[in-house]
Amino acid sequence: MKKISALIIVSILAVMLLTACGGPQFECEDAIGCVDIAPEDPVRIGWALVISGPNETLGVDSQRGVEIAAEDKGKVLDHAIELVGEDSLCSAEGGQTAVTKLTSDPSLIGIVGTNCSSAGEPASKIASDAGMVLISPSNTAPSLTNPDKTWNPGYLRSCHNDNIQGAAMANFAYNELGVRKAATIHDGSPYADQLQQVFADKFVELGGEITTQEAINTGDTDMRPVLTKIAVTGPELIYYPIFIAEGGHITVQAKEISGLEDTILSGADGMISPDFIAAAGDEANGMYISGPDLAFDNPLGQAFLQKHRTKYGEDPLSAFHAHAYDATMMLIAAIEKVAVQDEDGTLHIGRQALRDALYATKDHEGITGTLTCNQYGDCADPLITVNQIQEGEYVPVWTAD
């Protein structure tokens, strides 16, 4: 009897203690850990984007998409949203430095970034190894979601895969422009190298000829030697899906090379920027630029555009602001899905549970379309458009089926 009475007393005391403490204490059973957010603390989301240097408009454009998403959402389960950012530049070193710094903060829940695939390759591994998620608005290199290449289990993207963009541009060149001979230029980055290769493979498959595939280095300013080499092969079109500064030099200098006076010039979304228009000047008129369709003719897209104009006093700068918005909203939706909330408002977010929720994203209505993620993190609802530069404006002229 004494033992039974003692057990009853212990049980009563345990119940009283749990009641006084607000109920059973949360125990993290997540395979890679949990983030605990106190009642008055914010939900902290990071971004790693290129916000300095010649490609800064690409990152500022995405940063604004993240900021508008955070403002639109307001709070996450009654917690304010705090954004923490780092400049990832447009390089492997920049991506490594930025994401290493962000992942050193255990209170950070996830990261939106990077812009450039060269930064994304090391960043995706660092984020994954740290147990975090990294959602890119503009890493388009196919290797990043290829399990046989550089895919990592904490990585996803809301933008298209360049397997789609490269094929679309080849179809446009061959079937719409009637081009039968083309050359390519890349800068050695995962983005440019892989995109031009997809273009080349598809162009040959369609019946065209790739006369040469040439490379430059980031930072090169004299493109005449490589352009002269290309001219000898007699292409009707050159596709150089590189970035702003080097793309500007090629565009200006191509017109100086004998044999290229009438050659069609074309690039990709890394050159959708007012800075490219300024760098290339009048020589850019008439060239073709592939990239995501930017019409966003839906209520969410139209509201975003108005908010952007009101907040920043101008239209978006580049091609991936909406993808950054959608990436941020996907992350927030996953947080809300998996978070465990105590009676006092404390949040507990399992890191593996968050990954699983993101990969399970299905029919997420975003600015860019309806997003559904596959098992390797490709989430986009991709639609590729080819623009022609006319008097300094990117004018849509063709959209892939």
Domain ranges within the chain, ordered by starting residue: 34-162+296-383, 163-291+385-399
CB-based burial label for 84 (10 Å; 0-12, 13-18, 19+): middle
Angle at 104 between CA 99 and CA 107, to 5 degrees: 110
- Alpha-carbon distance 370 to 254, whole Å? 40
CA atoms within 13 A of residue 245's CA, in its CB half-sphere = 13
CATH of 34-162+296-383, one of 3.50.50.60, 3.40.50.1100, 3.40.50.2300, 2.20.25.240: 3.40.50.2300
- Is the Cα torsion angle 380, 385, 389, 395 positive or negative in sign? negative
| Nearby residues of 179 by Cβ (< 8 Å), 6 or more positions away | 173, 208, 236, 237, 264
Per-residue tokens: 186:
């890349």
User: Looking at the domain 163-291+385-399, which fold is it?
Assistant: Rossmann fold (3.40.50)
Q: Confidence band (pLDDT; 50, 70, 90) for 261?
A: very high
Q: Given a cut of 50, is residue 78 above it in pLDDT?
A: yes
Show Cβ contacts of residue 225 under 8 Å, excluding neighbours closer than 6 positions.
Answer: none
309: left (phi over 0), alpha (psi -120 to 50) or beta: alpha
Inform me whether the pLDDT recorded for 6 exceeds 80: no
Under 8 Å CB-to-CB from 240, ≥6 apart: which residues? 184, 185, 186, 192, 196, 247, 250, 265, 266, 267
Q: Is pLDDT at 382 greater than 60 in this prediction?
A: yes
Nearest Cα residue to 49 out of 89, 93, 84: 89
What is the rounded average pLDDT of the residues 320-343?
98
Q: Which of 6-20, 77-91, 230-244 has the lowest mean pLDDT?
A: 6-20
- Provide the angle, in degrees to the nearest 10, between the axes of the packed helices 244-254 and 224-232: 60
User: 377 vs 61, 146, 358, CA distance in Å?
Assistant: 22, 9, 8
**Do the Cβ atoms of 254 and 263 come closer than 8 Å?**
yes
Band (pLDDT 50/70/90 cuts) for residue 25 is confident
Confidence band for 24, pLDDT divided at 50, 70 and 90: low
Express each pLDDT in 89-147 by its tens digit: 999 999 999 999 999 999 999 999 999 999 999 999 999 999 999 999 999 999 999 99
pLDDT at residue 115, rounded to an integer: 98
Q: Does the structure show a pLDDT above 60 at 298?
A: yes
Omega prior to 184 cis, within 30 of 0: no
Residues 249-269 have a mean pLDDT of: 97
- Three-point CA angle 269, 271, 274, nearest 5°: 120
Burial of 33 (0-12, 13-18, 19+ CB in 10 A): middle
Label residue 8 by pLDDT band (50, 70, 90).
Answer: very low
Domains 34-162+296-383 and 163-291+385-399 belong to one CATH topology: yes
